[in-house]
Structure 1
């Protein structure tokens, strides 16, 4: 395969991000040109890994494809794949922690093998792999003022976003044979996840109470992670505020009306996302 030019490689990643990153792209577009390109490269590779996990291939083929990505990461500078070429350049320009992609691969493997989580601590480890890793990759692109907790804040923010995803996608995940809510929480609220007539069943309100409880816990992770904002420059801080703000607003909508996720995949409108982005550019959280 002919090695693409850097311009072609980054253009490929930006096309992927623009098409697939329904929420993240609202924040990414607020970055400076070079950082925007670098974060699109990071997203494009992360998306490739996620798509392997979510695809319809047999488990053995998914495992083989994840291994291919691992090998490509190990030989990044020799790759002719446009996404890998862009990631390699981004990592040369910014302190991108490439080892975080290894954690993402580990997290996606948890999905592939259908792992269940008995406790919230176990779920947190999964979230750290699939989303905290993304937070740390973003931080590498953003850059930040020296602070001993910066990486932890980025990790916490990613974990908060993933908890929001889990609450939004309970029905969709269950239809795909996946349950992320910890067993200890399901038991505590007397919830047996099942779908009746196309919607999540909640005969006694236990699921709604569990969702509200989980949302309150996610708010604590957001509060911790949002300490990252003051450590970033204006444009990177705006990107962070926008990405987190969209998910925080979604979390509050779910907490206000848990039943809204029982029969559909809840999302914000384009106008609402734009509003979050505009406020973020002005330095205001959603």
Structure 2
């Protein structure tokens, strides 16, 4: 089940000209206030305006094409706060719902988009479509401003939005953006894995959702140590055995030896985890995940 499937149902959208004009006026007033207070001014208003419209709206299509042309002409930098805020607007939720607890306070205040009381044809499916288009844009932008922890936060947000790994697999733009986000210098890769693992347990209380998130990351990155590490996080949380993290092998021993030793830890935790999962369906999901992790195969 998608995390935001029910949350976004029947949310309204601002598609009429007067709504866009009102939003732009509020945006201009906010920028004026920030200038007078010597605060950072967000000049990238075209993304905010585009997110207000239905993806099939003529205005939205024109704005989006302009955005893509800009990315081809300029090396556009985006910040962690902007990316999370834009993802949240696209799926129609508050940015704090997309990031781990304790990280929401880092999201810079941006004009929010309330639900339109008149209703409309916005739904979670449209939100997913707009998120994928947004990722097409972000995939062409520079992510150099993002720290490793911020990259992990954005990966977390993407996994929150895409509750089904097939949705990511069906979107080449989503896959490209996640690879773009996950691609760092070789010396930083293990730090990024650890950063994502540290917040991964907050993704969901549902085993199936967590398992789908692991499958999503494998389909996109084909990074076996990452998948092993995230699986251990799921099992540790189910068993309430946080001390296991202190016994994890060092990445310095190489991927092959690391995965071999982590598999032994997974075997040790699996039986305990089964006892902590009451529902048969959840037990099956857990068994399937462990079996898949032990038989990972790269796509050809």
When Rg is computed on C-alpha atoms for both structures, the one with the higher figure is 2
TM-score by structure 1 length?
A: 0.32
